[in-house]
A and B are shown apart, each in its own frame.
Chain A
Amino acid sequence: DIQMTQSPSSLSASVGDAVTITCRASQDIGNGLGWYQQKPGKAPERLIYDASSLQSGVPSRFSGSGSGTEFTLTISSLQPEDFAAYYCLQHNRYPLTFGGGTKVEMK
């Protein structure tokens, strides 16, 4: 099985800060990675697919990069509505595996 190691597990930041979250895969997954945002009590929403493609309707301050085993999600300028949990998901092969999540909190 492919293990997804996500870091950090939490971070504190201020509005306007740039934020970077990392996922590392235990095997090469090519570009088969998605990033999701989840707010309390809500279903996850996809931000990025295929490692770097922006989901339609998602603000351009979100970007994804990487391939193989190292991936990053960057929020270029944190907005109040961005305080949430973020998860990566490898969509290269079964069993599907999520990263452990990153909670972005207000400093």
Chain B
Amino acid sequence: EVQLVESGGGLVKPGGSLRLSCAASGFIFNTCTLNWVRQAPGRGLEWVSSISSSGTHIYYAESVKGRFTISRDNAKNSVQLQMNSLRAEDTAVYYCARDPRGAGTGFLDSWGQGILVTVSS
């Protein structure tokens, strides 16, 4: 069974940093593209970032480019999202999602339960 478990969320002040992690199990991690998708309270879904199976191809939404960095550790079956210069508008539930293709484009078939990030003074 595919499992994705996010951690690292919490309350942070504007301008602060936070590092999210997603631990994966139940599938061959190093063959899949991993993604972060977020959802602000009461709002719709917004794609944030993707990293290909080898880490060669990385993409970001314009809203986070230059502030967020995605990375993965295939030896530990985990993907991270380093979030710097956080703003109130980054407040959201952040989901880790899998694309089973190595260099995929959003074929998101499995999602974690989500982790809340709150940016507030």
B111 close to A45 (CB less than 8 A): yes
Chain B: interface size category: 20 to 34
A98 close to B47 (CB less than 8 A): yes
Dominant SS among interface residues on chain A: loop
| Cα distance A49–B99 in the bound complex, in angstroms | 12
CB distance from A101 to the nearest CB of B (A): 4
A49 close to B50 (CB less than 8 A): no
**Interface check B61, CB cutoff 8 A:** yes
Closest A residue, CB atoms, query B59: A94
| Cα distance A102–B114 in the bound complex, in angstroms | 21
CB distance from A98 to the nearest CB of B (A): 4
Interface string of B82-101 (1 = CB under 8 A from A): 00000000000001000100
A95-B59, A95-B61, A98-B46 in contact; A46/B106 too (CB < 8 A)? no
Q: Which residues of B contact A99 (CB under 8 A)?
A: 44
A43-B95, A93-B105 in contact; A87/B44 too (CB < 8 A)? yes
| Cα distance A93–B109 in the bound complex, in angstroms | 16
Interface string of B62-99 (1 = CB under 8 A from A): 10000000000000000000000000000000010001
**Interface check A65, CB cutoff 8 A:** no
A43 close to B112 (CB less than 8 A): yes
A94-B50, A94-B59, A95-B62 in contact; A89/B105 too (CB < 8 A)? no
**Interface check A64, CB cutoff 8 A:** no
| Cα distance A45–B108 in the bound complex, in angstroms | 9
Q: Which residues of B contact A101 (CB under 8 A)?
A: 44-45
A96 close to B111 (CB less than 8 A): no
Q: List 13 A-B contacts (CB under 8 A).
A: A36-B108, A38-B45, A43-B111, A43-B112, A46-B109, A49-B107, A89-B106, A90-B106, A91-B108, A92-B106, A96-B35, A98-B46, A98-B47
> Which residues from chain A sit less than 8 Å from chain B, CB to CB?
32, 34, 36, 38, 42-46, 49, 55, 87, 89-101
